[in-house]
Structures are given as C-alpha cells and as structure tokens.
Amino acid sequence: MSRRITVGAGQMGPIAREESKSDVVDRLMTMLHDAHEQGVDLLVYPELAMTTFFPRWFVADPAEFEHYYHREMPDHDTKPLFDEARRLGIGFALGYAEIDTDDQGVEHRYNTYILVERDGTVVSKFRKIHIPGHAQYEPWREFQHAERHYFEPGPDGFGAWPAFGGIVGMAICNDRRWPETYRVLGLQGAELILIGYNTPLHYAPDPTQNALSGFHNHLVMQAGAYQNGAFVVGVAKGGIEEGVDSLAQSVIIAPSGQIIAQAVTTGDEVISTTIDLDFCDTYKNTLFDFDYYRMHEHYGLITERRGAVPPA
C-alpha cells in the first residue's frame, strides 16, 4: 500500500509595500493554476504571503499597519483563492498576519498559517511560536526586524493533524531553526511538515552569518526531516523586496534528509514532487523508532546509572 500525494512549494518573489491584497491574490491564483497543471494536491505558500514583510519598518502604533492583517480567513480579499482552490481540488497552506479577538474582547496579533483541505475544509491554523528580531526601534540597523513588536507568540503550541492522507504539521520561519519544533511534531506522528519563511540575507547582529544563510536554512530543515522521519516542504518569499535581499531556495525534503526538489529562481515559482507518505516508516520504524529507542528515563537529570532495557 502507498499513500502518494503531490506536494508543491509556491515560492514567491518580492511583494511591494503598496501592492494590494487583491493583486497578491492574483499572483497566488497564477501559482495555483501552475500547480494544477503539475498535478499538485497540496500547495504550500510562504510565511506572510499576503503582504510585504512589514516588520522591516517600525511604526510606534501597530494599528497603523492594520491593513496588513486579516481578521478572518477567508475574507473579502482571499475568498477567490479559497473558491478556486476548492474548484480545482487543491489543498493549500497560506501564511498571513492575523488579528484574533478573544472572548474578553482583547485583540491578539499572530503570524499565522491556515491549512485547507482539497474540498475547502479548514484543517487547522498554526500561530508562529518563535518570534525573532526585536520589539523596540533599533536605529543602528539598516532595516528593522521588529516581529516582536507586531506579533505575540502563538499560544497553542505545535499541532499535527490528520489531512492529505497523513499527519500534517506546520511551523513558520524562525521556528524551523529550533530542534524542538520538529521533535514536538514528530512525537505527534507528523509525516509532512510545512514551513514558510522570509529570511533576509543580511543578519544585522552578526553579519558573519550572512554567507551561511542558505546553508543554515537547508541544514535545519534536512536535519528535522531526517531525525523525525518526515517530509518537509520549506517555502520562501525571496528576492529583493523593498531593498532587502531575502533567501529563496525553497525545497521539498524526504525523510532521508535528502532534498528532492528545489526552486531555481528568486521569484514566483511552483516546484512539486510526488511523495509516498509510507516512506516515513522507513525511518520512523527503524533508526528513529521513538518508542523503542528513545531513552525517555535519561532525559531528566540522571542521578543514578541504570541499564536502559528496551521494552519486551
């Protein structure tokens, strides 16, 4: 038996500061049609796919940037995309800036992914956990990375959901650099991990890392895939956006850790490949059989050495 699906990475090039959401949706639709021609079942768009990466500017009152957020999904701007995807039978993951109003009427701003099945059913939302950058204006920087001013960390943790014939998890950009992201998803059985990113090629706190940004991007996602026996789809918004050069190099990675598809441009580009989710078992049931091999009792402070006996 096999569980084959065709996954696509819908890499985006720059989105201009003044580009309207409906213009962006036109671009997303073009990619959706390209994906349809490639036979894609699930198309993954990048982090904050609806707007320019606005945290590069600091405005004292985030309400001034309210137009970059969505209060519901789909809304007026994105409904055509949801409708067309359902008509074509393509599921998708879309990154966007979310304002959520809680039961007490308090507004929360999150950096969010929504996952939608092929029949238009919303599977789940994921809100970015690791919020990088800074919360104050930092005048020494060439450009700001004020994500901590615009977003609070997602309160729900990492989740994995039955969808697309397997178990699907999500993470957003900086989340991908942390091993616990993949492990928490792996412990929930994730077989397919969807990750969008906006990664400037210039890292202001330590520019010696600039030349390694492509290496680090693939390093963390390939390791996360391998160590948890999962496929990873990593999708960039790349190219020079409002003067800031950002990493492209979107990839689809197998549970072996090997890159099996990679974007070759820094612009709008759909790459895709057919994967068999059963291939995850090749790793999940052998080298990374968590139940059999993880030395759970050794993860705390070890005060006494005991033989670690595999379960009968």
Q: Which two tokens stand for residue 281?
A: 């078992």
Q: Residue 27 contacts by C-beta under 8 Å, 6 or more apart in sequence?
A: 12, 268
Q: Which is nearer to ligand CDT, 35 or 44 (CB)?
A: 44
Question: Could you give the CA distance from residue 116 to residue 131 in angstroms, rounded to a whole number?
Answer: 24
Residue 57 Cβ, how far from ligand CDT at the closest point, in Å? 14
**21, 125, 173, 237: which is the annotated catalytic residue?**
173
**21, 98, 117, 128: which is the annotated catalytic residue?**
128
Residue of minimal Cβ distance to ligand CDT: 173
Residue 243, phi-psi category: left (phi > 0), alpha (psi -120 to 50), beta (remainder): left
3-state helix, strand, coil split of the chain in percent (to 5) is 30, 30, 45
Are the CB atoms for 175 and 128 separated by under 8 Å?
yes
Residue 105 Cβ, how far from ligand CDT at the closest point, in Å? 29
Handedness of CA 120, 72, 78, 12 (dihedral sign): negative
Binding site for ligand CDT (CB under 6 A): 47, 132-133, 145, 173-174, 177, 197-199, 203
Q: Which is nearer to ligand CDT, 58 or 197 (CB)?
A: 197
Q: Which is nearer to ligand CDT, 171 or 270 (CB)?
A: 171
Q: Which is nearer to ligand CDT, 70 or 145 (CB)?
A: 145
Residue 55 Cβ, how far from ligand CDT at the closest point, in Å? 8
* 47 catalytic residue (yes or no): yes
Question: Could you give the CA distance from residue 50 to residue 66 in angstroms, rounded to a whole number?
Answer: 13
Residue 243 Cβ, how far from ligand CDT at the closest point, in Å? 16
Catalytic residue ranges: 47, 128, 173
